[in-house]
Amino acid sequence: MAERPNVLLVSTDHWPAELTGEAGHPDILTPTLDELARSGVRFRNAYAECPVCIPARRTLMTGVSPRTHGDRDFAETMPMPGLPTMAQTFRDGGYQAYAVGKLHVYPQRNRIGFDDVILDEEGRTQYGIVDDYEAFLGDRGYTGRQFDHGMSNNDYGVRPWHLSEELHATNWAAQQMVRTIKRRDPGRPAFWFLSFRHPHPPIVPLETYLNMYRDSEPRWPSQGSWCREELPYLLQAVRGRSAHMGVRQIQDALRAFYALCTHIDHQLRVVIGTLREEGLLANTVICFTSDHGDMLGRHGMWAKRLFYEGSANIPMILVGAERDRRVGHHRVDDRLVGWQDVMPTLLDLAGIEAPCSVEGLSMVRNRRRELLYGEVGEGDHATRMIRKDRHKLIYYPAGNRRQLFDIEADPQELSDLAERKDCEPILAEFSELLIGELHGGDESWVRDGQLIGRPARTFRPGPNRGLSSQRGHHWPPPPKTDMKQIEWHSEEDA
């Protein structure tokens, strides 16, 4: 067991694949991730099968698709499926397993196979839990004050963090992982899961990091020519959510978002430095990834739940143990991978057989998938994806709208090829593949072997009285409730 590698899995929330220096982004500062990418392999075509927090995390921790684990929307009170988890499988293989940060499972104190979880659930007290980060603030005299900055969990307003640096959630998570590493059982290898809550809003970076981007001129978000056409209902709703954002708000949001990313990058250095000084780094596998990305203004859209590259294409960086030649270094791998592949990959590198329930593929073996199917949302809010070879099909059932993109030639997805005569064979092929993947009621979108979708709708904005999940003061703790916060919706959905 002493020769088995340790495994450090690092996840963030809302981090697009393009936001690293090694991926060629002109503005972002990510020296740690760039060095890790050069020390291992960067998977350029990694995707979230369901680009929204809870379903993605079910996939990560079970190695199965949304079709199998049963959530392709945001089933926040659905328990984890009765499948072997990554943590439990590591423990069954003789590992100790610990998690720090955001799990996003229900019940919130479910350890899903870990020996222990030091939890940061972003203040979700509506389920009756005070998480460990909130307790940490209370112990230091800041009880209930984590949201006193006034920024929302699903909005792109910006201001600097309102408390001292060591109280920021990013610093807290890194320090808790450092202490967890130091408290390990030296007789057994370890699986560590470090899950940062940011750069998910609220966008409240430390002023130090905000100042790093103060004089920068962020690259303006790309806008597809297809955006000038009548958009599907879902895209009308997504664009309507941010229609109020002007030039200054967009630039400020981008700078602050990048600041949150660089802060995480620098705190990850402290964790890696701890592994080095504890004599563990050479025999530790490191994987960095994110549950989904963020549109960050591309095509006039923000946040997730979409299959454009900004939302669905995620970072996937893998560094092997020093003596393991399967990963290599200074490599970019173009194979198509998803979050279901993380579990079998890390188990493979640890010499543990993956449970038979796992659907993902090890990213360090030769077998590669031909296509990846993505699904998020239900009914008129649904969108589906087929990614295969160099092309991507995105489908909106409301209005029966298909979009086709050549990701190799057009990574910014500026030109929709669905109406081009010379692309009709590709469109037909991808549509047939999509039809073959539909399930769970989506079959009603098909008649006589052709996609017919659902009736078109026009989005009409409703009220946003809850300010997109604005949190309040958390002392005394808010009451436990099953009521959903009032969000942005159409009039019919409000």
Q: Model confidence over 359-397: pLDDT tens digits?
A: 999 999 999 999 999 999 999 999 999 999 999 999 999
What gap in Å lies between CA 386 and CA 433, rounded to an integer? 7
Q: What share of the chain is helix, strand, coil (3-state, %, to 5)?
A: 30, 20, 50
The reported pLDDT for the residue numbered 480 is 84
- The yes-or-no verdict on residue 189 having pLDDT over 50 is yes
The H-assigned helical ranges of 109-246 are 132-139, 169-182, 207-212, 233-241
Model confidence at 100, pLDDT cuts 50, 70, 90, reads very high
- The yes-or-no verdict on residue 488 having pLDDT over 70 is no
Identify the three-state secondary structure at position 6: strand
Model confidence at 483, pLDDT cuts 50, 70, 90, reads very low
Does the CA dihedral 335-314-133-172 come out positive or negative? positive
**198 vs 208, 251, 433, CA distance in Å?**
16, 19, 35
Q: Which strand ranges, in their side-by-side order, compose the sheet holding 116-119?
A: 116-119, 96-101, 190-199, 6-13, 284-290, 316-319, 41-47, 331-338
Please say whether the beta carbons of 293 and 14 come within 8 A. Answer: yes
Would strands 401-406 and 391-396 be described as parallel, antiparallel, or unpaired? antiparallel
Please say whether the beta carbons of 339 and 316 come within 8 A. Answer: no
The reported pLDDT for the residue numbered 491 is 36
Query: Bridge partners of 43?
Result: 333
Judge if pTM exceeds 0.85: yes
Q: Which residues of 109-125 are buried (b: 16+ CB within 10 A; e: fewer)?
A: eebbbbbebbbbbbbbb
- The yes-or-no verdict on residue 411 having pLDDT over 50 is yes
Q: Which bin fits 141, alpha (ψ -120 to 50), beta or left (φ > 0)?
A: left
For the chain, what is the mean pLDDT? 95
Identify the three-state secondary structure at position 468: coil
pLDDT tens across 50-86, in order? Answer: 999 999 999 999 999 999 999 999 999 999 999 999 9
pLDDT tens across 233-292, in order? Answer: 999 999 999 999 999 999 999 999 999 999 999 999 999 999 999 999 999 999 999 999
- The yes-or-no verdict on residue 492 having pLDDT over 70 is no
The reported pLDDT for the residue numbered 481 is 75
Query: Bridge partners of 402?
Result: 395
Model confidence at 494, pLDDT cuts 50, 70, 90, reads very low
DSSP 175-191: HHHHHHHHTS-TTS-EE
- The yes-or-no verdict on residue 213 having pLDDT over 90 is yes
Neighbour count for residue 254 (Cβ, 10 Å): 24
- The yes-or-no verdict on residue 186 having pLDDT over 90 is yes
The reported pLDDT for the residue numbered 476 is 92
**21 vs 254, 267, 469, CA distance in Å?**
16, 17, 32
Please say whether the beta carbons of 117 and 99 come within 8 A. Answer: yes
6-15, 277-286, 471-480 — which is least confidently predicted? 471-480
What gap in Å lies between CA 4 and CA 24, rounded to an integer? 35
> Which of these CATH numbers, 3.40.80.10, 3.40.140.10, 3.40.720.10, 3.40.50.300, describes 6-370?
3.40.720.10
Model confidence at 1, pLDDT cuts 50, 70, 90, reads low
**424 vs 402, 406, 417, 431, 465, CA distance in Å?**
12, 13, 9, 10, 45
pLDDT tens across 295-351, in order? Answer: 999 999 999 999 999 999 999 999 999 989 999 999 999 999 999 999 999 999 999
Please say whether the beta carbons of 137 and 124 come within 8 A. Answer: no
One-letter amino acid identity for 419?
E
The reported pLDDT for the residue numbered 472 is 94
